[in-house]
């Protein structure tokens, strides 16, 4: 027997799926901004504007991924945002660290049907 709560939950799930599909391109665009920053960091050419754009993209991803049932993606994007907010990301292997985080974030996003 399904009640009004079940019906409401199904409607919410359908709405979230629709929003997910309509926003997927924007989410992947933001991942692309992070990927671009990672590549520039690896090449030693990460400028302030690119870093700031990546920080903003990570902030936006952190804010939205939890809404879509991806709290681990939200937490990882937040971690990337904080890391990018530092003027000089720490460590000689910083590009590798960022690459692994962006790869993981992309996998988390791709894991949602």
Would you state the pLDDT for residue 88? 62
Would you state the pLDDT for residue 98? 92
Q: Is the pLDDT of residue 92 over 80?
A: no
CA dihedral 76, 78, 79, 80 (to 10 degrees): 90
pLDDT, mean over the chain: 88
Please provide the CATH number assigned to the domain covering 26-111: 1.20.120
Residues 6+ apart with CB under 8 A from 105: 31, 34, 61, 73, 76, 77, 80
* Angle (deg, nearest 10), helices 94-111 and 71-85: 160
Q: Rounded CA gap, 25 and 39, in Å? A: 21
Identify the residue whose tokens are 């690459």. 99
Residues 5-29: pLDDT tens digits?
A: 788 888 888 888 888 888 899 999 9
CA distances from 41 to 78, 82, 101 (A): 19, 16, 14
- The domain ranges of the chain are 26-111
- The model carries a pTM of 0.84
Would you state the pLDDT for residue 105? 96
Cβ atoms 64, 80 nearer than 8 A: no
């Amino acid at each position: 027997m399904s009640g009004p709560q079940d019906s409401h939950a199904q409607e919410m799930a359908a709405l979230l799926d629709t929003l997910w599909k309509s926003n997927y391109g924007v989410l992947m665009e933001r991942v692309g901004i992070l990927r671009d920053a990672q590549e520039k960091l690896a090449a030693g050419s990460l400028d302030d504007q690119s870093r700031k754009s990546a920080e903003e993209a990570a902030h936006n991803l952190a804010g939205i991924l939890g809404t879509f049932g991806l709290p681990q993606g939200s937490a990882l994007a937040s971690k990337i945002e904080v890391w990018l907010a530092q003027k000089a990301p720490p460590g000689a292997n910083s590009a590798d660290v960022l690459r692994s985080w962006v790869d993981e974030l992309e996998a988390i996003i791709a894991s949602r049907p």
